[in-house]
Amino acid sequence: MNKRSNESPCDTCNSIPEGFVDVPKTLESNIDERLAFMREKTTKIGYRFVGRHSAIKVCNWTKETIRGHDTCYKKTFYNIDSNRCIQMTPVMFFCTFNCRFCWRNFNYTLPRSHEDWDDPKTVLDGIIHEQVKFLQGFFGSATVDKEKLAEAMTPRHVAISLSGEPCLYPHLPAFIDEIKSRGMTAFLVTNGTVPAMTEKLLDHQPTNMYLSLYGTTPEMYQRTAVPLIPDFWDRVMTSLAMLGKFDCNTVVRLTLTKGLNFTDPEGYARLVEQSGAKFVEVKSYMAVGGSRKSLQYTDMPLHEEIRAFAEQIAANSSYRIAKEKKISRVVLLERT
């Protein structure tokens, strides 16, 4: 048995530090000063910045795999090698939501109209450099899997999911094209609030297109996602309806939190059925990072509860349970 298998899911679920960053009230009205403050603080807790607005943070699953331990559930579900995966964002502090369950306590804001955006090649070159630079430190350890570490020096996957809403990055289509042109795979995770970009991506498709769904009604979204834009629901529904037009793997991700959106499986079944997505990930909220400022460990559904919820979605849709990973409290449904 893997010696990590008895650990709490919160111990190895991702790379979030135990602490979180609060922005002083004196900086809340000054975006430039707030962004500079957040950049300084997050650099100290392990984030590595590339250019003006992009960043990586080496995922805990990457480290675990290099140490010869367990792998991310994306390996189980989609055969992504955790040791060769870069967890990144092109929009570190920009988002349309401030989700209560988000592990990044960054007081997200919308991009400014005059935002100066870095070009895709510069971003990709930079994140690869920072990833490899960090992992080179593992060569001094006697407890690593040397083969896995050697492989990690040539990343093969980019998870555009670290922080913020990546569809706010205007060069996202070209960024995805740049990733794929180098023989790498790209997973994009969006909250669906930028449907104009979702539509553009039909001609620039990632390997996996994720849309995170945070509720079955506008009211559920309000209490869960804390939107920064007024027409969030219409935007999300527009993007959701486009998933069936993609040729790549499409995934609706449900991050479920007790007291917020861990309810109405029939409603979720209806929405995912309408989306035409190939897969649905039913996943528990994890009480890590900034989310612990307002939520508790008891707000996390157990894996057995997540599986039961997934079974109810399956009973009311054309999706069936395909795979699961207990330590991550996640179940994969596949359209039949």
DSSP assignments along 137-165, one per residue: GGGG-SSS-HHHHHHHTS--EEEE-SSS-
Specify the amino acid at residue 168: L
Least reliable range by pLDDT among 97-106, 113-122, 189-198, 301-310: 97-106
What is the reported pLDDT for 298? 82
What is the reported pLDDT for 168? 98
Q: How confident is the model at residue 100 (pLDDT cuts 50, 70, 90)?
A: confident
323 within 8 A of 77, measured Cβ to Cβ: yes
- Per residue in 132-163, pLDDT (tens digit) is 999 999 999 999 999 999 999 999 999 999 99
Q: Report whether pLDDT(233) > 50.
A: yes
Give me the mean pLDDT over the 36-63 stretch: 94
What is the reported pLDDT for 229? 97
Predicted TM-score (pTM) of the model is: 0.90
Q: Report whether pLDDT(290) > 80.
A: no
Task: Round the average pLDDT of the chain to a whole number and report it.
Answer: 91
Percent of the chain with pLDDT over 70: 90
Distance, in Å, from the CA atom of 97 to the CA atom of 37, rounded to the nearest integer, reads 20
Give the residue ranges of DSSP H helices in the chain: 9-12, 31-44, 60-66, 73-78, 120-135, 146-152, 172-181, 195-200, 218-225, 232-242, 265-275, 303-315
Q: How confident is the model at residue 102 (pLDDT cuts 50, 70, 90)?
A: confident
> Which residue did the predictor score with more confidence, 160 or 15?
160
Degrees (nearest 5) of the Cα angle 38, 41, 47? Answer: 95
Q: Which fold has domain 9-335?
A: TIM Barrel (3.20.20)
Least reliable range by pLDDT among 2-11, 33-42, 43-52, 145-154: 2-11
Distance, in Å, from the CA atom of 6 to the CA atom of 198, rounded to the nearest integer, reads 40
- Using DSSP bridges, classify how beta strands 330-335 and 319-325 pair: parallel, antiparallel or unpaired: antiparallel
Percent of the chain with pLDDT over 90: 78
For residue 169, give the nearest of 88, 63, 249, 104 by alpha carbon: 88
What is the reported pLDDT for 61? 95
Give me the mean pLDDT over the 307-333 stretch: 98
186 within 8 A of 213, measured Cβ to Cβ: no
What is the reported pLDDT for 1? 37
What is the reported pLDDT for 2? 40
Domain residues of the chain, as ranges? 9-335
Give me the mean pLDDT over the 50-58 stretch: 97
What is the reported pLDDT for 242? 98
- Per residue in 245-289, pLDDT (tens digit) is 999 999 999 999 999 999 999 999 999 999 999 999 999 987 666
What is the reported pLDDT for 174? 99
